[in-house]
Structures are given as C-alpha cells and as structure tokens.
Amino acid sequence: MRNLHAIVVFDYKGSVFNNKGRNDTAMTSLFTDATIFVFLPWVLWRLLHKALPIVVLPILIGILLAVWHAPIKELGIPSSYGDTIGWIAVLVLAFTAGLEMWQHPEGDTSVHAIASPTLGRLLAGAGVALGIPFLLGAILAYTCFLPLHGWQAPLASPLIAAASIGLCISVSALPVLIGVVRELDASQRPLGQLALKLAVVDDAALWVGLAVLQFAHRGTAALHSWTGLEFLAVALLVGLSSAGNWASRHFRHPPTWVIWVTVPIYLAAGSWASMQLGLHELIGAYFAGAIMPPSWVRRLPIEQVGTFALIWLAPMFFGHSGLRINGDALTWPSIIASFALVGISILSKIGAVYVFPPAPGLKPRQALGIGALLQCKGLMEIVAATILHEQGMLSDFAFASLMVLAVVSTVLTGPLFRLLAPR
C-alpha cells in the first residue's frame, strides 16, 4: 500500500509540474508574441510619428517573417493565447464597426462645408464607388490572374474566386478612415465626413457580400444540411433585431448597466448565429452591432474601445495573418501582380467617384480627394481576405497579393489625398 501511495503521489506531483511547465511555456510564448506584434509595432509607430496606420506595421512584420522563413515556431509563435486574444479583439472591432453605423458625423457649418447629398444620391454614389471596382476587379481576376500558376482557389469555382478577389479590391476601410479623417485639417474635414458616409454603406455591403459569397460557395448544401440549430440561429437574429427595434421606440434611455450587459449578449449571440449558419463569426459580430438600438449606441465609448482593441490586442491577429502567408507564394510574379492589383484598385475607385460624384456640386479635385480616401483598404480587406482564404475561396498566391495590396493602399492614402484634394 505504501508503494502504491508513493506512486500515486509521484504521478500527481509529476502532472502538477508538467502542467506548470506547460503554463509557463504558454505565457512565455504569449509575451514573445506580444513583443513582436504589439510592442514593436507600437514603438515603430511612435518613432515614425504615426505617419503609417498602426494596422499596417504588424502585418508587415508578419509578412517579412514568413518570407524570410524565420524559425519563430521554435519560440511558440503564433501562440495559442495570442491567437485567442487577437481573434476576440477583431470580433470587437467588427462589432464596433457595426455600432459606428449609428455614429453620424456632425454637420459642418464652415465656409468649407459641401452640400449634403440626399439619401438616394448617397446610396447611388456608394453603389457606384463599390460596384465599378468590384466588377472591374472580378473581370480582370477571371481573365488575367486566375489563369496564372497557383492563383486558382483550392475549394471554389473560378467565378467564386474571381468575385472574392473583386470584393477585396472594392473594399473601403471604415475603421482606418475614421482615424484618417480625425487628423484632417478643418478645410478638408467635410470631404472626409462625406467619405465616411460612403464607407459606412460600403462596409455594410462588404459584409453582405461576404455572406452571399459564402452561401454561393456552399451551394444548395447550405440549406439541405440545416438542422434545428440553424433555424434557432435565424430566430435568434430576428429576435435580436426585433428587440433592438422595440427598445429604440419604447426603452430609449435605460440605465447604463443595462447597456453594458446587453453588449456582450448581442456580440456573442450574433457571432454564434452566423457561425451556425455556416458564415464567418465576424459577419454576425458586425450585424449584431448594426442592430443595437441607436440611442443606446450613442452612450457607449465606441472610439475608446475600438482604439484600445486596435492598438493593444488586434495586432496579434494582423501579425498572425501575415505569418499565414505562404512565403514561397510571395515571389516576384506575385509582387508584380500585387502592384497590378494596387493600380486597378486605386484607379477604379478614384475613377468611379469622379464619374459619379456622391454629392451635387462637387468640384473635380474634391471628387478625386474622396476617391483617394475610399481606396484605402486597411483592416477591412485584411479581415475579408483572411475569411475567404480560410474557407478555400482564395489561393495562397491570391491571399499574399491581396495582403500586400492592403498594406500598400493604406500607406498611400495620405499622400494620394494630399496630392489630389484641393488645398
């Protein structure tokens, strides 16, 4: 019995030491992960006097590490804790992007103010600004890029793959644009506010487009395989929307604690419902934010929460997205293709706004300036490309090129605006 007791005690102590060792290793990996993808980008961002959007820096570091085949897996990177933290942060960013639909920019009464467009003109302008780059990008992807070696998506038809590339090309980065517009001079801020209104519509269209593409990718199987959980997910989304609509009319000013309790419920329920429907969780997080009561949303510190998540948590998602690039896929042909996509994206977006200005009376340089802002891809394209790549709707080569496009277009936003917008 003594020997048996000794063996049991030894096994118990051994398991405790093993668990402690694993926890220590996981925490060390998380610290290294955060140092590379959170603290290093922040230091560079400050040294560069915030000249580059911070979203660009961790993705650049991740891409460089992937291309150089750096042995970071030996350091436990990407860490499991870092993956989880980054993923939750991006869910929060998608949720706040939905909430920002209700954050209407304040009207500008200065001499630089521009005529406010009607809702119809605004929606039409947003549709043209999104539709022309999407169609042009999808057509060129189908005819010029997909025939190239390694560009055909592994699990999707050529039409779905081409539409996926076109959607990424047509994206406008709402979260990044909000920060850019805050930094504009007073004389240029009305243009930025109009660009934000267009980006809100484009942002909503992006998530709808992602949902449609995923349903089209799955085909009739998306409905034939439904069980009771899928119908429960639909009922849950309808219930959330109905509750938000009722609260907007009958419970406009609840206690603050009620709003804070409701926020995680909406976020979790929306994410779970979209996942259950075979869509990406980020789509549900976005629409959960969009259907919250507007009067509640205006009492939330959306900017502070979004900024904290963007700077201190989400960079691990961005950096890990860069690491997911197949370093061998980012060859010189891929880099050339990336810059071709940059040219297509910039020219089609600026051209669309120039051909059909979103507000009456816009001068040519004002339209060009708005187009320069809307061509910014930033966070939205990174998230969209990551979703499509994970589901086999983009190849490694297309994913790598689109990540480079996101970085380059975001970096060029400021210089392009200063070059094209009226002074």
Residue 46 has pLDDT above 90, yes or no: yes
Between 338 and 138, the higher pLDDT residue: 138
| Mean pLDDT for the chain overall | 84
Tell me, what DSSP letter sits at residue 275?
H
The token pair that represents 412 in the structure block = 């060029």
Residue 11 confidence class, pLDDT cut points 50, 70, 90: low
**Three-class SS string for 76-117?**
CCCCHHHHHHHHHHHHHHHHHHHHHHHCCCCCCCCCCCCCCC
**Residue 265: which of 246, 283, 292 has the closest Cα?**
292
**Residue tagged 């060009």 (tokens):** 368
Residue-level pLDDT at 306: 84
- What is the rounded distance in angstroms from the CA atom of residue 404 to the CA atom of residue 47? 23
Confidence of residue 207 (pLDDT cuts 50, 70, 90): confident
Greater confidence, 188 or 222?
188
pLDDT in tens, 324-343: 887 777 778 878 888 999 99
pLDDT score at 264:
95
pLDDT band at 205 (very low <50, low <70, confident <90, very high): confident
For 148-212, give the DSSP string. Answer: STT-S-SSS-HHHHHHHHHHHHH---HHHHHHHHHTS-TTTHHHHHHHHHHHHHHHHHHHHHHHH
Question: What pLDDT score was predicted for residue 379?
Answer: 73
Look at residue 224 and tell me whether its pLDDT is greater than 70: no
Q: Residue 267 and residue 285: Cα distance in Å, rounded?
A: 5
pLDDT of residue 2 exceeding 90: no
Please determine, for residue 358, whether its predicted confidence score (pLDDT) is greater than 70: yes
Q: Give the span between the Cα atoms of 240 and 95, in whole angstroms.
A: 14
- pLDDT surpassing 90 at residue 30: yes
Angstrom distance (rounded) from CA 185 to CA 229: 51
Among 381, 317, 309, 265, CA closest to 81? 317
pLDDT digits (tens, 9 = 90+) for 62-117: 988 988 989 888 888 999 999 999 999 988 988 887 887 665 544 444 445 677 78
Q: How many angstroms separate the CA atoms of 324 and 307, rounded?
A: 25
d(CA 421, CA 363): 10
What pLDDT, on a 0 to 100 scale, did the predictor assign at position 109?
44
Q: At what angle do helices 396-420 and 56-67 cross, to 10 degrees?
A: 140
Among 238, 261, 296, 287, smallest CA distance to 103 is for 296
Of 380 and 404, which is predicted with more confidence?
Answer: 404
> pLDDT > 90: what percent of the chain?
39
- pLDDT at 5 exceeding the cut of 70: no
- pLDDT of 18 above 70: no
The answer to whether residue 300 scores a pLDDT higher than 60 is yes
pLDDT of residue 113: 61
The answer, yes or no, to whether residue 229 has pLDDT greater than 90, is no
Say how many Å lie between the first and final Cα of the chain, rounded. 89
What pLDDT does residue 110 have? 46
Distance (Å, rounded) from C-alpha 99 to C-alpha 261? 16
Question: How many Å separate Cα 98 from the centre of its chain?
Answer: 12
Interval 183-204: pLDDT, tens: 677 778 788 878 888 887 887 7
CA distances (Å), 371 to each of 198, 236, 364, 415, 419, in order?
A: 10, 38, 11, 13, 12
pLDDT 10s digits, 372-386: 999 988 777 888 898
Write the DSSP assignment of 326-394 as a string of letters.
-GGG--HHHHHHHHHHHHHHHHHHHHHHHHS-SSTT--HHHHHHHHHHHT--HHHHHHHHHHHHHTTSS
The candidate with the shortest Cα–Cα distance to 89, out of 277, 308, 309, is 309
Which pLDDT score is estimated for 203? 78
At 268-280, the pLDDT tens digits run 999 999 888 867 7
Question: Tokens 């997910």 belong to which residue?
Answer: 233
Which letter, b or e, does each residue of 263-285 get, where b requires 16 or more Cβ atoms within 10 Å of its Cβ? beebbebbbbbbebbbbbbbbbb
**Burial of 142 per CB tally in 10 Å (0-12, 13-18, 19+):** middle
Backbone φ, ψ for residue 170 (5° rounding):
-90, -5
Three-state secondary-structure class, residue 48: coil
